[in-house]
Structure 1
Amino acid sequence: MRLKGVIPPVCTPLTPDGEVDATSLVRLVDHLLGGGVDGLFVLGSTSEVAYLTDAQRRVVLDTVTGHVGGQVPVLAGVIDMTTPRVLEHVRVAVEAGVSGVVATAPFYTRTHPDEIRRHFRTVAARGGLPVYAYDLPVSVHTKLGADLLLGLAAEGALAGVKDSSGDDGGLRAVILGREAPFSVLTGSEVTVDSALWMGADGVVPGLGNVDPEGYAELYRCAVRGDWEAARAQQERLVRLFEIVRVGGTRMGGSSSGLGAFKAALHLRGVIDCSITALPQIPLNDDEVGRIGKLLAAAGLL
């Protein structure tokens, strides 16, 4: 069946000494499930997967799958540079009992499209789970074109794609060319209404950690064809998304965005600590205060 709905990429709460805060992570999962989400994506970009050790990844997997207990699908990022490293993450994810895995194209190495195809085919064959491609050219420097994705889908190597490319034309080409049950999920928090109108199946929104109810309502409006209400909800979320910019040019986009999500979750009482992993720069008190004002304006405080 085609994966649909709101599937937030779950933040990874950390303790002040940088370890995974499993207690806060369980509260965050309950917060998301209570908000009406349709699935969970752990160990993605918003989960700070690039910063986590293999042991920390395992803690996240075991904590979330153990707590969810099959209530909703749990997808696990198996993101790493090359196929052998990804396959080791797949093995651990399978042991944890996830519903599917999410993989980018190989990176660091300069890779040919035929090698990318071989990568996804191998992950699908060795893992025995549905594989979702993560189109993230800003981080892996390779764009997954519609022909490549749809060809792998036709072979049965891919179950879907999370499109975080920012290429709306490419997204539409995949939607137009796909055949069931290939799932198309947008990774953009701010254009969900238009993606759903084009025929996307759902959204993987980092901001969904902060306001899962808002994205769940947007999706419900789209499903029933109430596009005016969907647009109104989307515009409210666009205004809330300004929290990711409070760090300005003082830090990298990762520090600003992930720090904002965690600060908002801390302000909402969901997680105990808003720390982000090294070497990200933390938000200061003034920036956290600005996030609080944006939360209040969105009706979340």
Structure 2
Amino acid sequence: MTLPAPLTGVIPPVCTPLTPEREVDVPSLLRLVDHLVAGGVHGLFVLGTSSEAAYLTDRQRRVVVESVTGHVAGQLPVLAGVIDMTTPRVLEHVAAVTSAGADGVVATAPFYTSTHPSEIARHYRLIAGASPVPVVAYDLPASVHTKLPADLVLDLAASGTLAGLKDSSGDLASFRGVVMGARARSDIAGFSVLTGSEVVTDASLALGADGAVPGLANVDPEGYVRLDALCRAGDWERARAEQERLCSLFGMVTVGDPTRMGGSSSALGAFKAALRLRGVIDCPVTAEPQVPLSPEEVERVGKYLAAAGLL
């Protein structure tokens, strides 16, 4: 399907369920997609951070995109991450995911090597030149060690290189600069500005964001869809209450013991444990070398779900 311009609403970064042998669990993945669609989401983003894209082989990435696009069959737009270190590698992913049916691609700045803003701009122009579908920039400085400058993003939007921005920088001031710039510039139209934050979704929408890409929406899609609707209706008091409920639920990402695992193991392990507890997926394992949650930590995830009214 054609990607809406701008893309709006709740677009979850879809988790990738795995089998105990760490292969893509396609039946669980499709149940997760059905769970999200039933929750009222407005699009899907596969092969993002919450999808464990960095841990998946190229073969597994293709299985994910083909499975989801085939199952959705045009009901919702499907964005696919093409995250990799350098432009030539990203271009290979673009060819793979678009041939598998993705409606848009999502790319970070190059990483591993140090890059200049002019090189980042060239990176996105080369991607857009090779992609048959719209390109969304992914601002993820915690992982790629480069913050996308607002003026660079806006100039690339004006030139038609970028169709949108998914901002996971945590820098609300910079995010506001992009929102304001996109609104003020007459040479920018249809550009989507999306927040990747679970905990300031209401604030981002109040600033003028077009939508949200929260990992926690895998667990509670209805909650984020409800929050989005309340914000668009201007019911800020109820929106704040819903956001605060979701903030409390997001506490599940801290259940992992930091003396034996990293934040990714804890957060993604919690999301998958929650999906297993909710009966959506069969197995909560995360990709290697992430460390699994203990039974006690999984029990704590259940308590977060119960407190949020999800069990």
Q: TM-score scaled by structure 1? A: 0.99
Corresponding residue to 1:211 among 220, 233, 238: 220
Per-residue CA distance 1:57-85 (angstroms, 9 max, x = gap): 01000100000000000000000000000
- 1:75-224 equivalence runs, <5 A: 75-178=79-182, 179-224=188-233
> What is the identity, as a one-letter code, of the residue corresponding to 2:66?
D
- Which moved further from structure 2: 136-145 or 173-182? 173-182
User: What is the root-mean-square deviation of aligned Cα atoms in Å?
Assistant: 0.6
Match of 2:67 in 1: 63
Per-residue CA distance 1:213-272 (angstroms, 9 max, x = gap): 000000000111111111110000000000000003131010000000000000000000
Which sections of structure 1, spanning at least 5 residues, go unmatched?
none
Match of 2:50 in 1: 46
Q: C-alpha separation between the residues in 1 aligned to 2:243 and 2:219? A: 14
> What is the identity, as a one-letter code, of the residue corresponding to 2:291?
I
Match of 1:265 in 2: 275
The offset of 1:109, in angstroms, is 1.1
Q: C-alpha separation between the residues in 2 aligned to 1:76 and 1:215? A: 21
Please give the secondary structure, in 1, of the residue aligned with 2:147: coil
> What is the identity, as a one-letter code, of the residue corresponding to 1:296?
A
The offset of 1:113, in angstroms, is 0.8
Q: C-alpha separation between the residues in 1 aligned to 2:257 and 2:25? A: 28
Which sections of structure 2, spanning at least 5 residues, go unmatched?
183-187
The offset of 1:180, in angstroms, is 2.4
The offset of 1:94, in angstroms, is 1.0
Please give the secondary structure, in 2, of the residue aligned with 1:196: helix
Q: C-alpha separation between the residues in 2 aligned to 1:269 and 1:169? A: 39
> What is the identity, as a one-letter code, of the residue corresponding to 2:309?
G
Match of 2:303 in 1: 293
Corresponding residue to 1:12 among 13, 16, 31: 16
The offset of 1:97, in angstroms, is 1.3
The offset of 1:96, in angstroms, is 1.0
Please give the secondary structure, in 2, of the residue aligned with 1:47: coil
Match of 2:238 in 1: 229
Please give the secondary structure, in 2, of the residue aligned with 1:26: helix
Q: C-alpha separation between the residues in 2 aligned to 1:163 and 1:9? A: 13
Q: C-alpha separation between the residues in 1 aligned to 2:154 and 2:309? A: 41
Q: C-alpha separation between the residues in 1 aligned to 2:170 and 2:241? A: 22
> What is the identity, as a one-letter code, of the residue corresponding to 1:240?
L
Match of 1:274 in 2: 284
Aligned length: 301
The offset of 1:129, in angstroms, is 1.1
Residue 35 (structure 1) aligned with residue 33 (structure 2): no
